[in-house]
Structure formats: C-alpha cells, structure tokens
Amino acid sequence: MSSAVVTPLSVPEGSKVNFGATISGVDIEKLTDADFDVIRAALFAHQVIIFKNQAHVSPRAQFELTNRFDPTATSYGHGATLDAKRSVLHPDLKTIPHQPQVQVIGNGFVPEYEGLQNITLRHPHHKTFHATAVPEQDDLNFTRFYRWHIDAALYGLAPPVVTTLQAVRVPRGRRQTVRYDDGTGDELSVPLGTTAFVSGYTMYDLLPAKDQEFARTTRVEYAPHPYIWMSGARSRSDGLGMVSEGKEIPLDQLPAIEDDKIQVLPMCWRNPVDGRLAVQVHPSAVRRLHLADGTVVEDLETVREMVHRVQRPGIAPDCVYAHDWEEGDFVLFHNRGVLHSVVGAFAEDEVRLFRQCNVAASEFPLGPEVATAAAAA
Ligand SMILES: [Fe+2]
C-alpha cells in the first residue's frame, strides 16, 4: 500500500486549467513500487504532478523516477546535441558529472554543486530569442513566454515521456505580467521565474471540428538539427514558434544530415492510458507539414501560420498554469501531453538553481491513426 494522496490543483473560477495535481505522502528518495503505481496513474491523468518538500532528493533518485517511466531508455533527452556550439540550447544547461541525464539550469554564480565548480547559470531572457522585446523601461514588470516547447531532440532520438524539475534554490520575488504582444491584448500575471504549462489535450479540445480533423490527420516534419537550424531565426512575441524572415541556418551549413534521423511525427499524440488526443508540436522546430491527401506544405511561413492557428487558442491566459516555485518543489510532467515555457527575467545576483532530467524514449509517441486501427481490430 502507498500512502500517496493525489489532490487535483484548485484553480480560480473561470479558469480552463483542467490539469495538474499535487501528490503528498511520498518520499521520492525512497519510492516504493506501490508509490510509483499511484504516481504513474496520476501522471497520465493530470499531466503535471507537484511534490512539495523534496529538497533532499538526490540526482540519482531524480533520474530513477524519471527513468521508471521508460526503463529501457537511458540517454539524456537531447543526447549529445547539447555540445553543438550553435544550438539554441547550449548556454542554458550544465550536466551533472556523476549523473549525466540530469542537467543544472538556473541563474547566477554557483561556486559548487554536485561536482560542478564555479558555474555561471543564465536564465534565458526573451530578448535573446524573440524578434521584438519588452522595452527596457518595462522589463522589471513585464515579460514574455520565452519559448513554448516539448523537451525533445526531434532529430534521431524519440521525445522523452516525462521530464522532472527539482527546485534547489529559488529567489523569492515579485510578480511579473506576461505580455503576448500579438495584437490581442492578452496578458497574464505570473510569479517571477515561473514555469508555464498548457495542456495539449485542451489545445485539441478547444479547436472547431474541422481544425481537429486537420490536427488529427496532419504530420509534422521537424528540421534536421533543429536547435542549430533555428538559431539564426527569431521567435514570435507569444513564444509560440518563429517569425519567417529566411534566417534559419541553411541545411548545407548544418552538421552532416542523416536522413533516417529526420522526424515526421503526428500532430496529435495519444494518451497511452485514456486515449485522449493532445496537440503536441514543438512550433519553433517545425519545417514542413504532410497533409492527409499527401500534399507536403513546404513554404515555411505558411507552415508556421497553419501550426500557430492550431496552437494559439491553447495558450490563452485562462489555459496557462504558472507554477509558483518554492525550494524543495519537485515537478514531474508528461512531456507528451503538455507544452511548457520558461518565463521572466532575473537580476544577475538572483541565484536560482534547478535540476532537470529527461531521457530519450525507447519508442515514438502514439498517433491518432493507431487509435483508429486499434478500435477497428
Ligand atoms: Fe523544457
């Protein structure tokens, strides 16, 4: 018997956030099989699971819980692609030497942590990635979603099933207002340095029937070496994909491309437990769309507009869960059912230290066509 207690998040009146739960009564450092059964069921039902007071949890225990969702998978979700100097991921992550699937992320100078010495972490600021930025004089109070994404290499390695985040040091701060800056007037008040989550299932459910059909039948082709490819380009102001200015790194200037590593994935991924469909697209890495009738949409601007139209309703302010981090929080999320984004900006002397872990999966996500075949069988 597990003493784990699952409590769905309570959300304000009118919120469309229908995911997220807290689990109490477990110690991640000493998980039992019965605890894991509860956690697994909760993960696929609630997508984002919050454990409080887990400051003592070791990198090893973090890896073991993460890995338990896919025991035959062992390499970090991005594999060795982090080492490519041009990748947009490179500056944001430091690898723990004795547990290489666990990365340290955050902000500020840390003299020593888990075998890493004298590291300087940098919380990414939207001005380094977006085509436009919040004006300097507003930067303390206003911010953006940095980049909505799935944690996935999207080239070669299969997208991790789950990601875990451990809050080791959290500067207590002010709140900021996220601006979408896309002409809608949308904005959202969030805690400083929040991680924002949206549900891919809600993203799907909000669409009109014809867009759901489009999402169910379209496949998304990702660029080879996507994080290097996108490094010349800049993001939309809502963090949901790139603007099209022809600034992507040309394919012949990328590292050698192995065609069999290029990924064409369903636009909707099926929940392995309840069969629900989530719109799961990493919008910044999309290069082509393969439509139901066999047409391949090649024009990048058109591709991005089509994807943005499907995804934008799902990141509306009332769909976003913005986690208010406290030291010792351990968050486990279903990387195949939610999108997430870093938010906000810290001063240099605000030290924030987090650990992140995911593992490249042993299998690719299920798409809707598999559900149809299974139902017919
Ligand atoms: Fe991430």
- Dihedral of CA atoms 105, 107, 109, 110 in degrees, nearest 10, equals -40
Tokens of 31: 């998980």
| Distance from Cα 171 to the centre of ligand 1, integer Å | 20
pLDDT score, position 140 = 86
| Distance from Cα 184 to the centre of ligand 1, integer Å | 26
| Distance from Cα 340 to the centre of ligand 1, integer Å | 6
| 316 and 97 Cβ atoms separated by less than 8 Å | no
Residues contacting residue 231 through CB under 8 Å, at least 6 positions apart: 86, 87, 88, 249
* pLDDT tens for the chain, residues 1 to 377: 899 999 999 999 999 999 999 999 999 999 999 999 999 999 999 999 999 999 999 999 999 999 999 999 877 777 765 555 777 876 678 999 999 999 999 999 999 999 999 999 999 999 999 999 999 999 889 999 999 999 999 999 999 999 999 999 998 878 999 999 999 999 999 999 999 999 999 999 999 999 999 999 999 999 999 999 999 999 999 999 999 999 999 999 999 999 999 999 999 999 999 999 999 999 999 999 999 999 999 999 999 999 999 999 999 999 999 999 999 999 999 999 999 999 988 888 899 999 999 999 999 999 996 444 444 44
Domain assignments of the chain as residue spans, ordered by start: 5-207+315-362
pLDDT score, position 377 = 43
| Distance from Cα 219 to the centre of ligand 1, integer Å | 22
| Distance from Cα 210 to the centre of ligand 1, integer Å | 30
pLDDT score, position 8 = 98
| Distance from Cα 293 to the centre of ligand 1, integer Å | 33
| Distance from Cα 335 to the centre of ligand 1, integer Å | 9
Tokens of 234: 């800049």
| Distance from Cα 372 to the centre of ligand 1, integer Å | 31
| 352 and 171 Cβ atoms separated by less than 8 Å | yes
| Distance from Cα 342 to the centre of ligand 1, integer Å | 7
| Distance from Cα 150 to the centre of ligand 1, integer Å | 6
| Distance from Cα 42 to the centre of ligand 1, integer Å | 21
| Distance from Cα 151 to the centre of ligand 1, integer Å | 5
| Distance from Cα 360 to the centre of ligand 1, integer Å | 13
| Distance from Cα 10 to the centre of ligand 1, integer Å | 24
User: Which residues line ion ligand 1, judged by CB < 5 Å?
Assistant: 151
> Which amino acid, residue 350?
E
Alpha-carbon span 144 to 26, nearest angstrom: 35
DSSP string spanning 120-166? EE-PPPGGGTBSS---GGGTTTEE-B---B-S---BSSBPPSEEEEE
| Distance from Cα 338 to the centre of ligand 1, integer Å | 11
Which has the closest alpha carbon to 144: 190, 100, 103?
A: 190
| Distance from Cα 358 to the centre of ligand 1, integer Å | 9
| Distance from Cα 336 to the centre of ligand 1, integer Å | 12
- The CATH superfamily of 5-207+315-362 is Clavaminate synthase-like (3.60.130.10)
What's the pTM? 0.95
